[in-house]
Structure 1
């Protein structure tokens, strides 16, 4: 990776911290009483935007991976080797400890719930197809299902039609989604439900990342901007409908922040600080394990700890402990498993 990209590791660190803040201090007031004090503080209540940051980073780095891949299959294999090892480790870990946290219903230690994560497929889609009830091992896995379908689609476009059709090609599923509400009224609800579950609404964020990458390499065209603007309008209208018009402000801010990080030396320096890059290093494993383990541990602590002030500090302690676990997974377990899957004895260099 060339020097310009170092700040993206820091941005991954920032993104995971935003998501953790959201889950610890805003997402679960009904389970954790102290959250009633913090859930409306914007830095926590909008922490879910960290996922959109992850999507923009993904969009940015995807062309690098595509350009280095010889074929569609080799591209998918690279992506799978990048995502699967941590997913397997995290899934087995959550499965193994599930029984210790009966208070937290999302810790469901059923073998069948390992499947959605391991094949990167939305459990609701699996349930629709098989008639068997599936759930994810962790709620945060949802964004990986979105990523996986995005890789399948952008890889297919890149290797069949070519790079210049990637952005318009990504707009197509978003337009399908927009048209789907019309179709629904005509009576094809199952088809629509399946389309809705693929997470196409989030493709606008991948597209911003793609466009910034293309701009950095002088390949951006006016047409690309038009395509991305349409995608953003579809995405924003979804949030306005579901969360109110004010949501547009944080959405715009997180988008501008991402773009500015490539043009502002100050931002680039800030994101390249060791604190952020160190967290960014383990951000994927951290993302997979943080929510279920953190909430489960906090629910247990809440029974023992009567002081709300102490409880307000506990997420920081728990999150720090989970960071070291994620770091250990990323540093040792993931590369070992990846090499086994590749059939290699020697450690392979990490691909971001």
Structure 2
């Protein structure tokens, strides 16, 4: 396997980010007649998680030690976050005059965003919710960071068994996270815990969101092993995990998504030439800049979709215009600002 980027994953990131755009911009609040249809765009985030499982496993194999690994992850994440969180905070704190988005105006939420830590971790000290995401799309970054730290720790402790150890941790933590975060389990838990205890444990469970999404990271890690070895036992494991994801959600959307992922995996591993059409230079550029697009798209994007609807009556075309603008912004931000910050970080940290 070549040491460069696997190009098809950059194109897959484009699909994932477009799914997320559609989910947020054609939401039921703005387009109630379309909200249900585009609800399935939310599966763009699990697609990102699966890509991370693959890419991070590959990155670990190419990294000498844990310290270098953490530095490289920080260098990859922080520059774009500083740029996009600052733009979001400044816009809402000093220019936005509409209703809502109070959390995006809070300086503490801005500072917390740049730690990549879930704001509710800070709430654990008081037992009540005081801090929030600067932008609600940032929730997935905490999931990613938790995965990076846990899987990196396990890998450099035991390179041969790190995946097995991660699966064992997930088997233990996943049901606990689901039980304590679920409203439906609360009446039964009240037989053993007080209301205040359950409120606190639910807050803890919210901070352990990685374990509600861990299946997708594991699929990505097994996909790497399947890609490297072509051993069909890994394909059977992936089929089992996709089936588990369907049983976990039990809706038609997850079934269609899981089948689509399975078809992609078959093509990617056994018929890669069928996916060559995805390796278009423009798609690869968008995929490389998709992180910056993800960080800026949600709160700011929804505000501009509403603005275009209310002032120019563009209807269904408003999200299209905003999507184009976000893509252009992401490309410019990545090429002219994020890359320069990354080079600065490297000089400072390395």
For normalisation by structure 1, the TM-score amounts to: 0.84
1:148 and 1:319 map into 2 onto residues whose CA distance is 26
Cα pair distance change 1:248/1:314, threshold 3 Å = closer
Listed one character per residue, the Cα deviations across residues 119-138 of structure 1 (whole Å, up to 9, x for unaligned) are: 11112222223556111121
Listed one character per residue, the Cα deviations across residues 292-349 of structure 1 (whole Å, up to 9, x for unaligned) are: 11101122223213x4xx22111111211121111111112112112222226xxx9x
2:304 and 2:272 map into 1 onto residues whose CA distance is 40
What is the aligned partner in structure 2 of residue 133 from structure 1?
130
Aligned partner of residue 47 in structure 1, secondary structure: helix
What is the aligned partner in structure 2 of residue 332 from structure 1?
336
What is the aligned partner in structure 1 of residue 347 from structure 2?
343
Q: Are residue 156 (structure 1) and residue 153 (structure 2) matched?
A: yes
Alignment of 1:196-345 (within 5 A): 196-199=206-209, 200-218=211-229, 222=233, 232=242, 235-240=245-250, 245-262=251-268, 263-265=270-272, 267-305=274-312, 307=313, 310-343=314-347
Listed one character per residue, the Cα deviations across residues 150-194 of structure 1 (whole Å, up to 9, x for unaligned) are: 011101110112232324424423432314566772436334541
Check whether the contact 2:53–2:219 (CA below 8 A) recurs between aligned residues.
Answer: yes
Cα pair distance change 1:182/1:297, threshold 3 Å = closer
Task: Give the alignment partner of residue 105 of structure 1, picking from 100, 108, 111.
Answer: 100
Shift of 1:227: 6.7
Q: Are residue 87 (structure 1) and residue 81 (structure 2) matched?
A: yes
Listed one character per residue, the Cα deviations across residues 20-43 of structure 1 (whole Å, up to 9, x for unaligned) are: 011111x2x33x2xx1232233xx
Shift of 1:228: 5.8
Shift of 1:270: 3.2
Shift of 1:233: 5.8
What is the aligned partner in structure 2 of residue 69 from structure 1?
63
Q: Are residue 39 (structure 1) and residue 35 (structure 2) matched?
A: yes
1:134 and 1:5 map into 2 onto residues whose CA distance is 38
Check whether the contact 2:135–2:298 (CA below 8 A) recurs between aligned residues.
Answer: yes
Cα pair distance change 1:102/1:174, threshold 3 Å = farther
Aligned partner of residue 69 in structure 1, secondary structure: coil
Cα RMSD, aligned residues only: 2.8
- Select between 182-191 and 13-22 the one with higher mean Cα deviation: 182-191
What is the aligned partner in structure 2 of residue 16 from structure 1?
17
Check whether the contact 1:113–1:135 (CA below 8 A) recurs between aligned residues.
Answer: yes
Cα pair distance change 1:258/1:145, threshold 3 Å = farther
Check whether the contact 2:151–2:162 (CA below 8 A) recurs between aligned residues.
Answer: no
Consecutive unaligned residues of structure 1, counting only runs of 5 or more, are: none
Shift of 1:63: 1.8
- How many pairs align? 331
Shift of 1:267: 4.6
Aligned partner of residue 116 in structure 2, secondary structure: coil
